[in-house]
Amino acid sequence: MIRILKTKHPLFAAHIFLLFVLCAVFYAPANIYAAPEVQTTSAGLISKVAPGELLPISVKLLNFGNGSKVDVSISYKITDMEGKAIYSAEETVAVETTATFIKTIQIPFGTIPGQYIAESSIAYNNQVAPATAQFSFTVEKKIFGLFQSDFYLYGGILILVSIIVGVISHFWIKRRRTMRFAPEDYSDIPHGERVFYELISDTVMGMRAQVGESALDIAKQIDGLVIDEKTGRVLKLTAKPSKVVAELVSGYEKALGKKVSFSFRNS
């Protein structure tokens, strides 16, 4: 009697291992030995393989022979779901009671993606019918080292995450810009001076939009101008307002080489 078992080990997702335990029993009516045992060894399982890649199969033969080596013929075959063989091979191994080895089968390069069956069978001595074991696996093309389905899955996730990050960034930048470049309100400043506050504030804001934070640094150095270091809001003018404006414009021209245009708010 021959028994064949296959087990899957859940811990090794990256590889397929088929545990293929073949237990051969001498067909002898007067057998004086212990009943044959079936042992399994754990093996990882891979469910997908790409054309051209190797499919590993773990094979274990148990309880063959009677203390002396015997030859066991093993046939390997890979067929599609309609039974059409895309690969077949045969080898003979010498077994002394037990034998464990990994057989690797190269999936032909031209294999059409789909579901396939790997079948192994042994023929031994007076065995009437060969013992067989089989398992199914998927052949799938790879794109940039990833299986096609994984590539699309990860690609989809990446695109989705990118879109989400992009949208969040867009609104965050827009909000930040809106906050930074929103005109400051100076309605609490007396009318005569307010126009200067607005003019300076809008000028600093406009230059910040053009050249960045250096516009704020230059403004901070203008005598008579006290501004909020973060927002650029004009806090106080301690010198003649028109002088502050002229010096600010002059400062930007000297430091940045840029002339300053103005726009006046409606009042």
Partner 1 sequence: MNTQKTILVVEDEKSLRDVIVDILKIKNFNTLEAKNGIEGVEMALGKHPDLILLDLIMPEMDGMTALKKIREDAWGEKVPVIILTNLSATDEQLVEDMVTHKPIYYLIKSDWNLRDVVAKIEKILETQNAI
Residues forming the site for partner 1 (CB under 8 A): 195-196, 199, 240-243, 245-247, 249-250, 253, 258-264
* Burial of 33 from C-beta contacts in 10 A (0-12 / 13-18 / 19+): exposed
Closest CA to 221 of 197, 206, 204, 209: 204
d(CA 115, CA 136): 7
Cβ atoms within 10 Å of 235's Cβ, excluding its own: 11
Cβ proximity to partner 1, 139 vs 237, nearer residue: 237
Q: Token match 């087990």: residue?
A: 7
Cβ proximity to partner 1, 144 vs 264, nearer residue: 264
Closest CA to 76 of 96, 102, 37, 94: 102
Cβ proximity to partner 1, 23 vs 219, nearer residue: 219
CB 142 within 8 A of CB 150: no
**Minimum distance of partner 1 from residue 215's CB (angstroms):** 15
d(CA 231, CA 182): 10
**Minimum distance of partner 1 from residue 164's CB (angstroms):** 36
**Minimum distance of partner 1 from residue 260's CB (angstroms):** 7
**Minimum distance of partner 1 from residue 246's CB (angstroms):** 5
Cβ proximity to partner 1, 142 vs 258, nearer residue: 258
Closest CA to 75 of 54, 63, 57: 57
**Minimum distance of partner 1 from residue 267's CB (angstroms):** 9
Cβ proximity to partner 1, 140 vs 198, nearer residue: 198
